[in-house]
Amino acid sequence: MEITLARYAGFCPGVRRAMRMAEEVLGDPQRPAFSLGPIIHNPQAVEELERRGLRILPEDPEEWEAAGLAGSRVIIRSHGIPPHLAQRLVDMGAETVDATCPTVKKAQKAAMRLVGEGYHLFIVGNREHPEVQAILGHVNRDAVVIKETRELKEWWEGQTRMIRKIGIIAQTTVDLLTFRSLVEGLINEVPEMIREVSEMKLINTLCRNTLARQAEALQLALSHDLVVVVGGRNSSNTEFLRRICETAGARTVKVETAGELDTSLLEGVSRVAVVGGASTPRERLEEVRLLLASG
Ligand code: SF4
């Protein structure tokens, strides 16, 4: 059996940077170290940091008091956080260490610029994702988050005010197919809205590393019988990779670790590709490759 490990394997630059900052913070044993929520969407990597002393603050700020933040350092994860939460941490005596990925920062700035210039902002992405929540926090939640064309129609039907200017950005890790279909959806599926709008401005906030990972996953899916996607269950970019491979017609399985892989799936398979999300350590992919090679 031929096994191909994706070239884009291992942490993306933003996650690498966040992990490096976590190492630095953990290097000062005199000060308690926290991260706000899991620093990356990979449970095994987070557990390792916790073993070394990193404590995870709950997402709900009402629960922060009990953690004792005075004098501590709190890492802001690569997805960023809303400014009012960063301020609240400072007010509680913590020093924030900002590991927000520069690409995510660009998306936050793009959102602020569009809203500041009077555009009605659409964010293509998942409303519950921490990155989207952080972007919303930068624009006082003055934006509509869309994941499906259906939501566009529903939003339009509930509109009472005139919309002249529309701004569009995306969650950085959204896949190109979803982004394209929603931008097209704005024009094709809600023609009444387009009749009213005089200006549409799109700022490309998609992450280049993610796009490259997705393009490679698509190529591998087209040329292999089976694709194993490795990544955290809570990682949306890993889920986007799975969807791309499945849409390309490849048999696709998603696992968090090699131990979850059902090797009976390999029956009759001659070419298998292993790809991983942006927060999946390269070793996890290597472990899957070794398991495949031994089976
Ligand atoms: S996937 Fe892209 S945007 Fe997200 S942390 Fe990594 S480099 Fe930054």
**How many folded domains does the chain comprise?**
3
User: Does residue 127 sit in the same domain as residue 195?
Assistant: yes
User: Does residue 114 sit in the same domain as residue 194?
Assistant: yes
Q: Which of 44, 78, 100 is at the close of a domain?
A: 100
Q: Whose CA is nearest to atom 5 of ligand 1?
A: 14
User: Does residue 262 sit in the same domain as residue 230?
Assistant: yes
Domain that holds residue 28: 13-100
Amino acid at 201: K
Q: Which of 174, 202, 230 is at the close of a domain?
A: 202
Q: Which of 210, 213, 236 is the best mutation target for the ligand 1 pocket, counting ligand atoms within 8 Å of the beta carbon and taking the most?
A: 210
Q: What is the pLDDT confidence band of residue 153, given thresholds at 50, 70 and 90?
A: confident
User: Does residue 63 sit in the same domain as residue 122?
Assistant: no
SS3 77: coil
The catalytic residues are 131
Asked if the model's pLDDT at residue 184 lies above 80, the reply is: yes
Contacts of 8 (CB under 8 A, 6+ apart): 209, 212, 213, 216, 275
pTM of the model: 0.90
User: Does residue 82 sit in the same domain as residue 136?
Assistant: no
Contacts of 7 (CB under 8 A, 6+ apart): 216
CATH number where 18 lies: 3.40.50.11270
**C-alpha 279 – ligand 1 centre gap (Å):** 9
User: Does residue 257 sit in the same domain as residue 229?
Assistant: yes
Give the lowest-confidence range in 43-47, 112-116, 119-123, 212-216: 43-47
From CA 295, how far away is CA 293, in angstroms rounded?
6
User: Does residue 230 sit in the same domain as residue 263?
Assistant: yes
**C-alpha 236 – ligand 1 centre gap (Å):** 11
Question: Which atom from ligand 1 is nearest to the alpha carbon of 11?
Answer: 6
For residues 264, 267, 273, 279, the Cα torsion angle rounded to the nearest 10 degrees is -10
Asked if the model's pLDDT at residue 177 lies above 90, the reply is: no
User: Does residue 113 sit in the same domain as residue 182?
Assistant: yes
User: Does residue 93 sit in the same domain as residue 109?
Assistant: no
Give the lowest-confidence range in 176-180, 187-191, 223-227, 248-252: 187-191
**3-class secondary structure per residue, 158-196:** CCCCCCCEEEEEECCCCCHHHHHHHHHHHHHCCHHHHHH
Q: Which of 202, 227, 247 is at the close of a domain?
A: 202
User: Does residue 182 sit in the same domain as residue 267?
Assistant: no
CATH number where 281 lies: 3.40.1010.20
Question: Which atom from ligand 1 is nearest to the alpha carbon of 104?
Answer: 3
Asked if the model's pLDDT at residue 281 lies above 80, the reply is: yes
Q: Whose CA is nearest to atom 7 of ligand 1?
A: 14
**Residues flanking ligand 1, CB < 6 Å:** 12-15, 78, 101, 103-104, 172-173, 207, 209-210, 237, 278
User: Does residue 64 sit in the same domain as residue 150?
Assistant: no
User: Does residue 110 sit in the same domain as residue 30?
Assistant: no
Q: Could you report the per-residue pLDDT of 192-244, keeping only the tens digit for each?
A: 888 889 999 999 999 999 999 999 999 999 999 999 999 988 888 899 899 99
Q: Which of 81, 106, 169, 209 is the best mutation target for the ligand 1 pocket, counting ligand atoms within 8 Å of the beta carbon and taking the most?
A: 209
